[in-house]
Amino acid sequence: MTAAAQQTSSVLIYVGLDRIGDGLLKLPFVRGLRSAFPNARLTWLAGKETSVYASLLAPLVAGLLDEVIENAGIGRTPWEILRRPLAGRRFETIIDTQRIVWTTLSLWRVPHATFISPAARFALSSLKPPKEYRTPASMQRQMLDLLEIASGLRFETPAKLDLRIDAEVHALAGRLLPDGPSYVGIAPGSGGLPKCWPLERFVELARIQEALGRTPALFLGPKESDWVAPLKDALPNAAFPLQVDEGSERHGFSPLLTIALARHLVAAVANDSGTAHMLAIGGAPLVALYGTTVPEKFMPMAERLTVIRAADFGGSEMRDIPLDAVTRAVDAAIGG
């Protein structure tokens, strides 16, 4: 460990916001932070909106982050540069994880000793990467590179993410998806409809799985509540583990429950979504569907991952992905 890392008493990490998928991908960075700066006070700052580290994923960063600030008003408008943010608080080290220059300039006004930012090719950074450095495609790797620059330590890109989940949650997952059937997870939702494969194709896919002797397990979050009734009508023999009273009442839509449920799946299909990341981390062989989004930037941490892009079939929208391609991918995932 470098002397600077040992002596650093406080570190501020800036992000715009954190959704579920972002938060899961950033966990190796957060763990690395605590390893690199074991005695420092670590403050996670979401400048534009909220962070799941203050809510749904708070249990996963307990003991790692000392403070999570949301809606800090940094990164919303260029006029922020005219004021000093965070009421004059001072940090030994600030790590800016984004590249918009005016946001970086606003954050730079927070009093600090060391400032790390990739904006404008690290122009404002106290420490910089080698001249030959090239920004990696993966957001996760980008953040780990920033941590290496700030600490002088090496952090490998994880192939998978091991989480400590309470035995009670695993037991609940076993009751919601009991042993016997071969469950194929189907997660038809996402953050926006343009990122969703047509719902009727998910229904067709589920019926094909039933015809092959498998049981579809539908993963529907709070944003898909309007889909629950019509999907139950269309697929009366499917499992809906997150809608079972015991699951919804005791754990709501806890990401940890979905991750535990993934261990009971022989395969899963999902759009580019937070649920895709949960199913991948849980260990399900994942078939991930992408339209206009770039999979390389937010690639799920899956031991077995099949990526299907609309561009593979000459299109850019999710409906350009044919049903038979997804069906073949599921069969291949189950076959190992």
Q: For the whole model, what pTM was predicted? A: 0.91
pLDDT band at residue 4 under the 50/70/90 scheme = low
Which carries the bigger pLDDT value, residue 298 or residue 66?
66
- 278 neighbors 253 (Cβ within 8 angstroms): no
- For residues 129 and 132, what is the distance between their CA atoms, to the nearest angstrom? 8
Distance between CA 301 and CA 245 in Å, rounded? 30
d(CA 81, CA 27): 30
Structural domains of the chain in order of their starting residue, each with its CATH number: 3-151 (3.40.50.2000), 169-335 (3.40.50.2000)
> Cβ–Cβ contacts within 10 Å for residue 90, how many?
12
pLDDT of residue 289 exceeding 90: yes
Contact 187, 219 (CB under 8 A): yes
18 bridge partner residues: 51
Percent of the chain with pLDDT over 70: 96
Mean pLDDT, to the nearest integer, of 69-80? 94
Q: What pLDDT does residue 249 have?
A: 62
DSSP tag of 10: E
Dihedrals φ, ψ of 167, to 5°? -60, -30
Average pLDDT over residues 16-41: 96
> Which position has the higher pLDDT, 86 or 3?
86
Cα–Cα–Cα angle for 306, 309, 313, rounded to 5 degrees: 120
Q: What is the mean pLDDT of the chain?
A: 94
Q: Where are the beta strands (DSSP E) in the chain?
A: 10-15, 41-46, 67-69, 91-96, 112-116, 183-187, 215-218, 265-271, 286-290, 305-309
How much of the chain, in percent, has pLDDT values that exceed 90? 85
pLDDT digits (tens, 9 = 90+) for 248-281: 667 778 999 999 999 999 999 999 999 999 999 9
Collect all residues with Cβ–Cβ distance below 8 Å to 179 and sequence separation of at least 6. Answer: 264
Q: For 205-245, how does the pLDDT look when each residue is reduced to its tens digit (9 = 90+)?
A: 999 999 999 999 999 998 899 999 999 999 999 999 999 87
Give the pLDDT confidence score for residue 214 in this predicted structure: 98
Other Cβ atoms less than 10 A from the Cβ of 321: the count is 21
How far is C-alpha 236 from the chain's CA centre? 31
pLDDT of residue 251: 75
* Whole-angstrom Cα Rg for the chain: 21
Could you tell me which of 40, 21, 255, 24 has the C-alpha nearest to residue 13?
Answer: 40
How large is the average pLDDT for residues 284-307?
93
Element (H, E) at 25: helix 20-36
Q: What is the DSSP letter of 239?
A: B
